[in-house]
Amino acid sequence: MRMVAEKHSMRAAPAPAGGEAAECALALIRNFGIVAHIDAGKTTVSERMLFYTGRTHRLGEVHEGTATMDWMDQEQERGITIVSAATTCQWRGCQFNLIDTPGHVDFTAEVERSLRVLDGAVGVFCGVGGVQPQSETVWRQADKYQVPRLAFVNKLDRKGARLDAVVAELRSKLAAPAVAVQLPLGAEEHFAGVVDLVTEEAVTFDEESFGGKVLRTPVTGALAERAAAARQQLVEAVAECDEELLEAYLANAQVSPAALRAALRRQTLALRIVPVLCGAAFKNKGIQPLMDAVVDYLPAPTEVPPIAGVHPKTGEPETRPASEQAPLAALVFKIATDPFVGKLAFARVYSGRLARGQNIFNPRLQKRERVGRIVRLHANQREEVESLGAGEIGGLAGIKLFTTGDTLCVENKPLVLETIHFPEPVIAMAIEPHSQADRADLDAALRSLSDEDPTFRIATDPETGQTLIRGMGELHLEVLKERMLREFKVRATAGRPMVAYRETITVPAQGTERFERELGGHGQFAEVTVAVTPRDRGTGNEIQWQVSPELIPHAFRAAVGAGIEDALATGVVGNFPLVDVAVAIVGGQFHPVDSSELAFRSAAVLALRQAAQAAQPVLLEPIMELEVITPEAHLGDVLGDVSARRGRVRELDARADAQVITADVPLAELFGYTTALRSLTKGRASCTLEPRLFEVVPPAMQAAILNR
């Protein structure tokens, strides 16, 4: 029997000197994020990690509004994570740079940009709910960035929780190569700890120290047989993809813990294995073994491929290794407005060292800026440092030229890293200042929020002149509105949320416009012919040049392209953007004296509108994937309500003591749905929404939408 008090000093090691020491320090960094569906327990897991590493000295609870990582007023009031929060802590001699991300689909951009700069991730899954809709979304995002992952099955103390069922869902729904490296010790309300299959030990957690003391004992009795069989399955699963372990296994079936741990690490980094751990974070069980797994299985910055980019002038691909000896390359992945330091840019340093007072270059703007203050992040607290080395994540205070997705580099060795792509907003809301005197405050607040959030867009309605704010959902816009009122003290009135419709065409068509005017005593002439063709839904727009320079010279092509973009942005049916259209410029004419950029831009706008109007344009509406978890007694009422909202049920599934309905429902029918669902089921059902696709609005409804 051995008792381990797992509290570790927060004192960081001094900055290494020399290349070898720096590489050694890099091997002790773990950049990882906590990702999951809403209410799976991400923030609770993060809070326990901070407590057991000594970063905080009390346990913060989400339901009490005391979680360190949920520092915003709205997060504490709503009990959800809205913005990703970064922190730094120490465990087993390693520096953890940890980002706790939101689980609500409205804030999926926060997950996207976090995964873009992280080396690893811990996916948290509810032991009862299993793989839920937003779990699939964040898992796909991690797949996109090739991020090695661990899975942590949480809430095993709840009724109906089953580790084996969640592991099976990981394999079937996410196609994840999941292998359990732990077994639960006890079930549901009798859950007491975990069985470590690598060391074949029972791991329990002392309740008097809030789980701070970990007790490891040999596995005995009937549990030993079950653990031995599970370990054998684990060894065989890893040996199937790891030759070194296979050789060790063939030589001796009793594979040592060190050999198994090393093989798990190799295959996790290669994305061929996802180790699955388990616990109950709220009951302080299973967190220290999870942190050990982060050290043992997730990569250091030196173990991920060198970051790739292109030279801004030549376009030639280049890479930067994770080394302080290489030229500086860093990526700004988030902008925040801090009341004390102003604009704060969150950056991940991939190579080189970023120091205070250093000149940094923005290849997008071709401008340089001097670094003022550099801070390490701990939720909403800042700790000033002199520099950030390769592999580290921190904040730059007060810089003006950089925004989300920009690359930081040195001017004599420029590099452009791949930027971050964000989904388009699907909902809009009108907002107006109380008086003309409040207009400047509103504009400043909107600019700041737009800098922070790439999925928040600002537009002006061309017919009414109203300011429209666009976002990812009702909750997203509600939070932004509250921030304007609370943080920026803006006096403004917001309207009812509106659906952000799109337009598209259904048949090919062609349009020609000859622009002949006399402006200011000077002739203006241009002629443009465009052909439009519908594209598959969700493939976006495409512009092709199929006209010779003799008809439209190169000098005017940028103006024609700008005119096409203008026309696509405003549409022809109801001033909604035109999407999924292939535009080909197939003809034109110019005058050697009277032609101008203005004339060609105007002709292009009018030609495209003429073609689109002839191509039988239709409205598109966003369709949401709705998942409702409801008790059996209310299933009929919920299904009837979904049908009344033009919903199509795709799947009906039994889960524990509830029914799970998956349906496609138009966003226009879902305003206030959460409140209606609570009323329908006496508060016993829950739901989640996720954008799925755009579909054509029924003809009868299209006229009603356009006449509003």
3-state secondary structure of 139: helix
Residue span of the structural domain in which 593 resides = 503-616
- The answer to whether residues 455 and 550 belong to one domain is no
- The answer to whether residues 173 and 282 belong to one domain is yes
> pLDDT-based confidence at 24, cuts 50/70/90?
low
Q: Which of 590, 616, 642 is the last residue of a domain?
A: 616
Query: What is the pLDDT, as a whole number, of residue 366?
Result: 92
In the chain, % of residues over pLDDT 70: 90
- The per-residue pLDDT for range 682-692, each reduced to its tens digit, is 877 878 777 88
- The answer to whether residues 229 and 375 belong to one domain is no
Query: What is the pLDDT, as a whole number, of residue 639?
Result: 94
Instruction: Print the SS3 string covering 319-354.
Output: EECCCCCCCCEEEEEEEEEECCCEEEEEEEEEECEE
Query: What is the pLDDT, as a whole number, of residue 61?
Result: 55
Q: Which of 303, 330, 353 is the last residue of a domain?
A: 303
Query: What is the pLDDT, as a whole number, of residue 482?
Result: 84
3-state secondary structure of 472: coil
Query: What are the start-end ranges of the E strands in 101-209?
Result: 120-126, 149-154, 178-180, 182-185, 193-196, 201-205
158 CA to centre of own chain: 28
CATH of the domain at 635: 3.30.70.240
- The answer to whether residues 482 and 494 belong to one domain is yes
Q: Half-sphere exposure of residue 96, counting CA atoms within 13 Å on the CB side?
A: 33
Structural tokens at position 338: 């801090």
* CB-CB contact of 348 with 339 (8 Å): no
Structural tokens at position 678: 């609570």
Query: What is the pLDDT, as a whole number, of residue 73?
Result: 55
3-state secondary structure of 297: helix
- The answer to whether residues 483 and 511 belong to one domain is no
- The per-residue pLDDT for range 558-570, each reduced to its tens digit, is 999 999 999 998 8
- The answer to whether residues 7 and 156 belong to one domain is yes
- Full DSSP string of 263-294: HHHHHHHTTS-EEEEE-BGGGTBSHHHHHHHH
- The answer to whether residues 110 and 211 belong to one domain is yes
611 CA to centre of own chain: 38
- The answer to whether residues 136 and 28 belong to one domain is yes
Q: What is the largest CA-CA distance in the chain?
A: 100
Lowest-confidence pick of 357-371, 399-413, 630-644, 667-681: 667-681
* CB-CB contact of 292 with 152 (8 Å): no
Nearest one of 169, 99, 96, 102 to 129, comparing CA atoms:
169
Query: What is the pLDDT, as a whole number, of residue 570?
Result: 87
Query: What is the pLDDT, as a whole number, of residue 6?
Result: 44
Residues in the chain: 708
Nearest one of 462, 466, 447 to 400, comparing CA atoms:
447
422 within domain boundaries: no
Q: Which of 303, 324, 352 is the last residue of a domain?
A: 303
- Give CA–CA dist 511/147, Å, rounded: 47
3-state secondary structure of 483: helix
- How many domains does the chain fold into? 5
- Give CA–CA dist 208/474, Å, rounded: 43
CATH of the domain at 559: 3.30.230.10
591 within domain boundaries: yes
429 φ, ψ (degrees, to nearest 5): -150, 135
Alpha helices in 174-329 (DSSP H): 221-239, 243-251, 257-269, 287-297
Query: What is the pLDDT, as a whole number, of residue 151?
Result: 97
How confident is the model over 272-297, as a mean pLDDT? 96
Checking if the pLDDT of 371 tops 80, the result is: yes
201 φ, ψ (degrees, to nearest 5): -125, 150
* Distance in angstroms between the alpha carbons of the first and the last residue of the chain: 73
- The answer to whether residues 348 and 410 belong to one domain is yes
- Give CA–CA dist 653/23, Å, rounded: 51
- The answer to whether residues 587 and 674 belong to one domain is no
Lowest-confidence pick of 115-119, 303-307, 332-336, 471-475: 471-475
Rg of the chain on CA atoms, in Å: 28
3-state secondary structure of 238: helix
- The per-residue pLDDT for range 600-638, each reduced to its tens digit, is 999 999 999 999 999 999 999 989 888 888 888 889 999
